[in-house]
Chains A and B, each alone.
Chain A
Amino acid sequence: MNQRVSTNASRRAFVLSGAAIAVGALAGCSLKGAVSFNGTDITGADFGRDFRLKDPTGQERTLADFKDKVVLIFFGFTQCPDVCPTALVRAAEVKTLLGPDGDRLQVLFVSVDPERDTPEVLNAYTAAFDPTFLALYGDQERLAETAKEFKVIYQKVPTGDSYTIDHTSVTYAFDTHGKLRLKLSHSQSAIEYAADVRKLLHAA
C-alpha cells in the first residue's frame, strides 16, 4: 500500500519533471530556434532536393505532390528479406503511433531493383504494410540520378544464379514544406521515428 502511494508520488514527480524539461526544451527552442530530434538534423542540406519517379500507376511524382505532409522516404527492393520489410513495418507502426496525425504522413518506398520490381509487385508489396504507402520507381538511369541526389548507394551482388542488392538503409524525413530535414537510422525505433515526425508536423 505504502509502496503504491510512493510509486504514484514518484511517478507524479517524474511526470512533473518531464513537463518541466519539456517546457525548458520549448523555451530553449524559441530562443535558439532549434528542436532536438532523434534523427540527424540535416536541415539545409544541399542534396535530396527532389525526385521525379513513377508510381505503380505510371504517374510521375515529385515532392510537390506530397505538400502539407511529412514524407518518409526509404530506398529498397521487394526481394530484400530483412531490412526492407523491417523498415516498412516500422513505418506502419509510426503511422499508428501518430493517431489522427497519421493522415499527414506519406511513406515512399523507392525501388533500387527496377529490373525485378515491376509496378504490380511494388504496388502489392507496399499495400501489404499500409494501403497509403506508395512505391516509386524509375529506369536505371533515373534511379542512378535519384540515388546520387539522395546520397544513397546500391550495388548488385550476385548470389547463385540470382542476385541481391546492398543498399543504404537510412530513412529521410521531409517537412510539410517539402524541405529535407532528417536522416533516420535503421537502428532507431518506431517510437523515435514517430516523435520526430510529430515535431515536424507541429512545427508550424
Chain B
Amino acid sequence: MNQFIRHVAVAAMLAASAGSAFAQANVSVKDAWVRATVPQQKATGAFMQLQASADSKFVSASSPLTPTVEVHEMAMQGDVMRMRQVQSVELPAGKLVELKPGGYHIMLLNLKAQVKEGDTVPFSLVFEGKDGKRETVDIKAPVKALNNTAKPAHANH
C-alpha cells in the first residue's frame, strides 16, 4: 500500500515536470514551446508565460541544445522590426509576463542540429529576486511546428 502511494506520488511528480506547468518557489513557467527549425537553420525562438509571486526579474536561460541562448526583445519602429538582446525581463509580483511573438523571446543561436516538432528542449531559467537571490527553474519545452501560431493551447481567457 505504501509502495502504491509512493508510486502515485512519483507519477504525479513526473507528470508535473513533464507537463509545461511548473510551479515551484517564486516563479511559475507555463505554456513553454520552441519553434521547430528546418535542416541547417541555425536559430529559433522559445516562448512561454512567466509569473512571479514577488517582484523579480528573468535574467538568463541556458539549454544543452546550444551554448548561445539569449533573451531578446522585438520592437517595431515604424514598419521596421528590430530585435535586441536584453539584460533582463521585469516580473512584477503576480503579473503574467508573456514571452511571445511580438515581444520577448528566448533566442537559441548557433544550433548544431535541426530542432524537430515533437522533440523536447530542456531549459534552465534563472530568476533574480529583489534581494538579489537567484533561483533556477528547470523546464522542458515541447517543440511545435514552424508554422505554429502565437496563441497558446488554451488562450481563451
Contact = CB atoms under 8 A, between A and B. Distances in A.
Interface of A: 78-83, 85-86, 88-89, 92, 116, 118, 120-121, 124-125, 128-129, 153, 157, 159-162, 164, 166-170, 185-187
A132 to B, nearest CB: 14
A118 B43 CA distance: 14
Given A81-B105, A83-B81, A128-B145, A121 B76 contact: no
Interface residues of B, number: 34
B42 A166 contact: no
Interface string B59-103: 000000000101010101001111111000000000000000110
B109 interface: yes
B35 interface: yes
B146 A125 contact: yes
B79 A83 contact: no
Interface of B: 35-36, 38-45, 68, 70, 72, 74, 76, 79-85, 101-102, 105, 107, 109-110, 145-150
A81 B79 contact: no
B80 A81 contact: no
Given A128-B38, A186-B81, 5 more contacts: A86-B150, A118-B40, A121-B41, A157-B83, A166-B82
B85 A159 contact: yes
Contacts of B38: 78, 121, 124-125, 128
A169 B81 contact: yes
Nearest to B68: A160
Contacts, number: 105
Contacts of A80: 81, 83
11 contacts: A79-B42, A82-B102, A86-B149, A89-B148, A120-B39, A125-B146, A129-B146, A159-B70, A162-B68, A164-B83, A186-B79
A128 B146 contact: yes
A160 B84 CA distance: 11
A89 B149 contact: yes
A155 to B, nearest CB: 9
A111 to B, nearest CB: 12
A124 B38 CA distance: 6
B80 A168 contact: yes
Contacts of B101: 81-83, 85-86
The 6 closest A-B pairs by CB, nearest first: A81-B45, A124-B38, A79-B43, A128-B146, A169-B81, A162-B109
